[in-house]
Structure 1
Amino acid sequence: GQHIDLPSDAHPISCAGKLVTPGLIDCHTHLVYAGSRANEFELRLQGVPYQTIAAQGGGILSTVNATRKASEEALIELALPRLDGLLRSGVTSVEVKSGYGLTLKDELKMLRAAKALEQHRRVKITTTLLAAHALPPEFQGRSDDYIAHICQEIIPRVAEEQLATSVDVFCESIGFSVAQTERVFHAAQAHGLQIKGHTEQLSNLGGSALTARMGGLSVDHIEYLDEAGVKALAQSSTVATLLPGAFYFLRETQKPPIKWLRQYRVPMAISTDLNPGTSPFADLSLMMNMGCTLFDLTPEETLRGVTCHAAQALGYPANRGQIAEGYDADLAIWNIEHPAELSYQVGVSRLHARMVNGELSYES
């Protein structure tokens, strides 16, 4: 608008010598959980296989057990320091998944805790149901029954209470099959929810192509995505979300097919995948650096990956992630002169101000 139309009590913020970007968007996190996996980290460094750790009560089910025992209030208190880490890196929007409850009661508890974070911090929270994250012990050996429970009990309740806007599935050899994923996606869409997938992280099952064919928001991880899968993404509006933190922490060697993603002009988002087991990182700028150093992205690609492409991955391509007329006034103002510095230097706060819907949230 015009300067003359500003209200008389408007508070000017000097941006002289500074860089202004859209507020950063972390489009894939598991921010709400209880418990620690530090002991598991030590065991893995000693060469103990994940299967052995899981058999001894570790792995994802240790987080499930701790999260089930925690109250909603406790989950909020545990999540706030992690959220604060993201906010210090210029984040204004965060996606938070469930997936450590794996029962109707506990998945609802996680989603309520995630949504409540907006009452404690100036941030926009988008919630995703990830009940199809792992097979709970109550359904051991009965994965189809658990999928039916998700489709018939959990999804309808989440939709009724408006606790999530999308549904995610871990489509993988150690997760759920493509056929099971499709069942969950159909149930989600029948209840007016968007879909997205953890796909092609450990193998190439075809989950990404399924997600694209069904109009999914994003496919995430995708280290084992092949050219046919990339072509399927290119024929859709589905975003490829890269998670370099998990790649780094797990010491993987198979990189996402960046060359094909560029060739077929598939939008690439970048996110922390903040979680206790495979990516315990609450710094989106670190992910930007890893995107450059590990995946050979350019600084410009990483900036798009945490702004406009991340907004598209959350279903907000028309009002977040850009500085343009009609978009939300979610901004980050930096004490830097060149955009490449956002990917270049890690561990030094360069944030001058963070704004959400035009309201100042932090200023150095």
Structure 2
Amino acid sequence: METLELLIRNTSEVLTVEGSPQQPAEQALTPQPNACVGVRRGKVWYVGSEGALPPGAVGPSTRVLDAHGQFVGPGFVDPHTHAVFAGERAAEFDLRCQGATYLQIAQAGGGIVNTVRATRFASEEDLIRLALPRLQLMLEYGVTTAEVKSGYGLSLQDELKMLRVVQRLSALQPVELVPTLMCAHAVPEEYREWREPYLDLCIQEIIPAVAEQGLARFCDVFVEQGAFTPSEARRVLGAAQKRGLRPRLHVDQLTSGGGAELAAELGAATADHLEHVSDAGIQALAQAGVTAVLVPTSTLFLRVRPYAPGRKLRDAGVNVALGTNLNPGSGMSENLPLALGLACLENGLTAAEAYWAATRGAALALGLNTYGRITVGDPANLVIFSCSNYRHLPYHLGINHARIVIKDGHVVIEQEKALCA
């Protein structure tokens, strides 16, 4: 028989995460104590006790990785990032630390438009050079798949440029990227007094061009004061759906605007942020099967309250996912482990619920049905952590415990770390 290419042995447990969002998270993580994982041709070939491996499964060419009594889980999936951009906004961060709000900075001419200026000026090669270190850091944290949005171009040529960069980056480094069009992120400066013509540009030119070139899977809209209204979002996302792009929404972040209800009405894949979601909105998400994507690092970064009600969302039966929202204005951090800790401390999730949200919950949010779990026949996206239990990840706040990261069966990160309890 064909031998394994890779075997992970001597684990405390393997979290296969093969359950469903409706189960208690501790059960949904489906742990297998002391199991080993075998990989062949980039896929998971075996999960179970080492003693039950078929004869001949391990041969001279098999690479054996010793977990040293630590745990193994699926690679993290980050379902919400803006990882492609130019420029930085440290001065705005300083203003917030002095008391200015996100909306005040945006109304004064800062915010998203600052990044748009820098991103428009940058070439594709510039954007690739800037994004590669961010993606490398995400990979080192154990992220093997990430969604990336456009939205800092806000013109036909620059939105296409950003999405081409995402496509190229996916081939240049190991993190698999899922592209999202977000031309309705903000109204660009040159259209500030002409909202309707800009909406026409999104609907009549940008969305068709992106769809024809196959550059995105989703279309996202920022519904908020100073951004776009629910009626404008309906128009943009209706046009996107006709072109095969599934809707997503940034909603209820800074104010309560019925955004969750809108996401449910449109059958969106996700409703993201949700710091100010209403009880009616939570019920609507649950009934419509829309995933709630929480980004607590952003809530911290913006110095705003409240955090999104993760406990209420889970209790209502909503699938919850967890992302970094990596971006230069409201979440300048690639640190998904920090988001895990904040989800427990501030969003009200348990450690198991947070782990689910960063793996299987996030994969389901992106429609990646064979990701975020360890199932025979699925892609071998795996992490060996330097601790014996997943509960240690949010507890040891913001620390990277990913010791070995495997993407499609290949070891892509191998870091020497002191082993924790």
Q: Which range, TM-score by smaller chain?
A: over 0.9
Report which stretch shifted further, 99-108 or 255-264.
Answer: 255-264
Deviations 1:199-230 (A, max 9, x none): 11122222222222322111000011111111
Whichever residue aligns with residue 267 of structure 1, its letter is N
Residue 393 of structure 2 is matched in structure 1 by 342
Residue 116 of structure 1 is matched in structure 2 by 168
Out of 111, 136, 143, the position equivalent to 2:195 is 143
Aligned partners of 1:28 and 1:272 also within 8 Å:
yes
Residue 78 of structure 1 is matched in structure 2 by 130
Q: CA deviation at 1:49?
A: 4.8
Mark the CA change 1:323 to 1:52 in structure 2 (over 3 Å): closer, same or farther: closer
Q: CA deviation at 1:8?
A: 6.1
* Distance in 1 separating the partners of 2:121 and 2:258: 35
* Distance in 2 separating the partners of 1:291 and 1:189: 31
Deviations 1:307-330 (A, max 9, x none): 0110011111x2101111332211
Whichever residue aligns with residue 340 of structure 1, its letter is R
Whichever residue aligns with residue 362 of structure 2, its letter is A
Whether 2:211 is the aligned partner of 1:166: answer no
Aligned partners of 2:141 and 2:337 also within 8 Å:
yes
Out of 328, 336, 350, the position equivalent to 2:379 is 328
Whichever residue aligns with residue 326 of structure 1, its letter is G
Whether 2:304 is the aligned partner of 1:244: answer no
Mark the CA change 1:6 to 1:156 in structure 2 (over 3 Å): closer, same or farther: farther
Whichever residue aligns with residue 138 of structure 2, its letter is L
* Distance in 2 separating the partners of 1:34 and 1:311: 27
Residue 46 of structure 1 is matched in structure 2 by 98
Report which stretch shifted further, 55-64 or 327-336.
Answer: 55-64
Percent identity for Structure 1 against Structure 2: 42
Paired residue secondary structure (2:65): coil
Residue 363 of structure 1 is matched in structure 2 by 414
- Gaps in structure 2 of 5+ consecutive residues: 1-44, 46-52, 416-421
Whichever residue aligns with residue 36 of structure 1, its letter is E
Q: CA deviation at 1:145?
A: 2.2
Whether 2:328 is the aligned partner of 1:276: answer yes
Whether 2:181 is the aligned partner of 1:129: answer yes
- Gaps in structure 1 of 5+ consecutive residues: none
Aligned partners of 2:69 and 2:388 also within 8 Å:
yes
Whichever residue aligns with residue 154 of structure 1, its letter is I
* Distance in 2 separating the partners of 1:358 and 1:75: 28
Whether 2:252 is the aligned partner of 1:197: answer no
Q: CA deviation at 1:6?
A: 6.3
Q: CA deviation at 1:144?
A: 2.6
Aligned partners of 2:294 and 2:323 also within 8 Å:
yes
* Distance in 2 separating the partners of 1:45 and 1:32: 25
Out of 267, 282, 290, the position equivalent to 2:342 is 290
Question: What aligned pairs does 1:311-322 form with structure 2 within 5 A after superposition?
Answer: 311-316=363-368, 318-322=369-373
* Distance in 1 separating the partners of 2:322 and 2:374: 19
Aligned partners of 1:217 and 1:312 also within 8 Å:
no
Whichever residue aligns with residue 304 of structure 1, its letter is W
Aligned partners of 1:226 and 1:257 also within 8 Å:
no
* Distance in 1 separating the partners of 2:110 and 2:279: 35
* Distance in 2 separating the partners of 1:12 and 1:176: 53
Report which stretch shifted further, 344-353 or 57-66.
Answer: 344-353
Paired residue secondary structure (1:220): strand
Mark the CA change 1:9 to 1:99 in structure 2 (over 3 Å): closer, same or farther: same
Aligned partners of 2:296 and 2:307 also within 8 Å:
no
Out of 211, 217, 223, the position equivalent to 2:263 is 211
Aligned partners of 2:256 and 2:278 also within 8 Å:
yes
* Distance in 2 separating the partners of 1:151 and 1:79: 28
Whether 2:280 is the aligned partner of 1:228: answer yes
Q: CA deviation at 1:343?
A: 1.2
Q: CA deviation at 1:10?
A: 2.9
- The size of the alignment, in residue pairs, is 363
Report which stretch shifted further, 209-218 or 155-164.
Answer: 209-218
Report which stretch shifted further, 165-174 or 52-61.
Answer: 52-61
* Distance in 2 separating the partners of 1:331 and 1:5: 19
* Distance in 2 separating the partners of 1:320 and 1:49: 38
Residue 78 of structure 2 is matched in structure 1 by 26
Question: What RMSD in Å do the two structures reach over aligned CA positions?
Answer: 1.7
Residue 66 of structure 1 is matched in structure 2 by 118
Whichever residue aligns with residue 332 of structure 2, its letter is P
Aligned partners of 1:68 and 1:101 also within 8 Å:
yes
* Distance in 2 separating the partners of 1:19 and 1:26: 20
- Greater Rg, structure 1 or structure 2? 2
Deviations 1:63-95 (A, max 9, x none): 110000000110011111111221111000011
Aligned partners of 1:240 and 1:269 also within 8 Å:
yes
Mark the CA change 1:348 to 1:45 in structure 2 (over 3 Å): closer, same or farther: closer
Q: CA deviation at 1:276?
A: 0.6
Whichever residue aligns with residue 284 of structure 1, its letter is L
Residue 87 of structure 1 is matched in structure 2 by 139
Q: CA deviation at 1:347?
A: 5.2
* Distance in 1 separating the partners of 2:317 and 2:116: 38
Deviations 1:170-193 (A, max 9, x none): 011221111111111111111111
Aligned partners of 1:21 and 1:333 also within 8 Å:
yes
* Distance in 1 separating the partners of 2:230 and 2:286: 20
Report which stretch shifted further, 305-314 or 36-45.
Answer: 36-45
Q: TM-score, normalised by structure 1?
A: 0.95
